[in-house]
Amino acid sequence: MIDIKFLRENPEIVKQNIKNKFQDKKLPLVDEVIELDAKYRAVKTEADGIRAQKNKIAKEIGALMAQGKRDEAEQVKAKVAEYAGRLAQLEKEEPELEKKITDIMMVIPNIIDPSVPIGKDDSENVEVTRYGEPAVPDFEIPYHTDIMERFNGIDLDAARRVAGNGFYYLMGDIARLHSACTAYARDFMINKGFTYCVPPFMIRSGVVTGVMSFAEMDAMMYKIEGEDLYLIGTSEHSMIGKYIDTIVEEDTLPHTLTSYSPCFRKEKGAHGIEERGVYRIHQFEKQEMIVVCRPEESPEWFDKLWSYTVELFRSMDVPVRTLECCSGDLADLKVKSFDVEAWSPRQKKYFEVGSCSNLGDAQARRLKIRVNGKDGKKYYAHTLNNTVVAPPRMLIALLENNLNADGSVNIPEVLRPYMGGKDKLVPVK
């Protein structure tokens, strides 16, 4: 959510930003909120004036009563009664106007960074850099679930009977490899100086609306029936939510957290052959990272965060690339975003395994996360988040890039301590 003062003073910049995001239907909202804001400020000014006048008159009445001038005091009281009716009306209008303004401001997109490429959708995202040499072996690579089945490592049929489509049982060495990925990612981030965190796996609606747009919420979140609780779609939400309605001392920044959690997503509109198996699912596990920092530090932290994901994948010899998300592919709260994609030798293309985002002060403004500066002035923090690793997709990348012609899978050296020293998985069928 952008600053109402910024919108009031720079309506054309806000409108151009909406156009850059190809959301022209939201253009009328800028003028609408400016009109409502003017009315709100006029109502508030009048109400404050009446309150001040009432206080002044109350003192006059006290003084007159003390002097025994009851008749004059009664005349002054009549004025108070006149003010009371108008004040009651204004005090009813004030919160109504404030809510209307907030509701509109919540759907006006954040101002994107000037470096963001302009484009309509993810087809116009821009490749930034490739890391590692993508290779295609001279033998056929099966679909990832077929590879897992050779190790008796997955049971989709049982999962469908228990929970429906979009769920899975991981078994044996494949399940262990999954856990090895999260354990290694946890230690990797701890070694980068991040504080390890296991957060709540449910959050209240006030946190949900603070960390994401309404469109994202509808597409992602599962609501707990009869409760003001939602299952998290990613642990960054509850980690950022940790700071809701707080004032952070400037000299304690930055706050850097890394978390493990299960994640639950509706995955609306997920169709197609590459979304079978464990590519798009309703439940998965993930290691995540977040940063709460001073505004001037967020660009530097953005570059650090996505580079950590690249470094982690390269430590397992998985070729990756970074893509910069274009304006039309940015969620409304985001200032700038990179996707990290891993190489799939089976598909002969890259696929998304992580996403890094700088949200500026948008989340902090919604959640009231403020910083107490050394000069005593308070300001909104900047927040960033990034995927360390989401093991279901990491498994796809690992299995495809480490598959041998005989069906065995090499275990990257960094994962072997988490796999009991094993250096290879041998298929049982």
Say if residues 388 and 289 touch (Cβ distance below 8 Å). Answer: yes
Say if residues 258 and 195 touch (Cβ distance below 8 Å). Answer: yes
Residue 151 has pLDDT above 60, yes or no: yes
pLDDT of residue 273: 40
Higher pLDDT, residue 396 or 83: 396
Topology annotation, domain 122-425: BirA Bifunctional Protein; domain 2 (3.30.930)
pLDDT of residue 213: 77
The tally of CA atoms less than 13 A away on the side-chain side of residue 418 is 20
pLDDT of residue 78: 65
Residue 374 has pLDDT above 70, yes or no: yes
pLDDT of residue 67: 73
pLDDT of residue 71: 67
Q: What is the largest CA-CA distance in the chain?
A: 106
Residue 275 has pLDDT above 60, yes or no: no
Higher pLDDT, residue 1 or 169: 169
Contacts of 285 (CB under 8 A, 6+ apart): 178, 182, 260, 261, 262, 263, 390, 391, 392
Tokens of residue 33, six digits = 């909120």
Q: H or E segment at 146?
A: helix 144-150
pTM, two decimal places: 0.89
% of residues, the chain, pLDDT over 70: 93
Q: H or E segment at 249?
A: strand 246-249
The mean per-residue pLDDT over the stretch 281-308 comes to 96
pLDDT of residue 217: 79
Q: Domain 4-105 has what CATH class?
A: mainly alpha
The mean per-residue pLDDT over the stretch 94-103 comes to 94
271-306 burial, b for 16+ CB within 10 Å, e for fewer? eeebeebbbbbbbbbbbbbbbbbbeebbbebbebbb
pLDDT of residue 86: 81
- Per residue in 315-354, pLDDT tens? 999 999 999 999 999 999 999 999 999 999 999 999 999 9
Higher pLDDT, residue 59 or 20: 20
Say if residues 402 and 313 touch (Cβ distance below 8 Å). Answer: no
- Of residues 284, 268, 296, 267, the one with CA closest to residue 360: 296
Higher pLDDT, residue 130 or 88: 130
Calpha distance 218→66 (Å, rounded): 63
pLDDT of residue 272: 47
Most confident of 52-61, 81-90, 106-115, 272-281: 106-115
pLDDT of residue 264: 94
How many distinct helices (H) and strands (E) make up the chain? 13, 18
Q: Where are the domains of the chain?
A: 4-105, 122-425
Calpha distance 278→160 (Å, rounded): 13
CA Rg, the chain, in Å?
Answer: 28
Calpha distance 402→383 (Å, rounded): 36
- Per residue in 219-241, pLDDT tens? 789 999 999 999 999 999 999 99
The mean per-residue pLDDT over the stretch 152-166 comes to 93
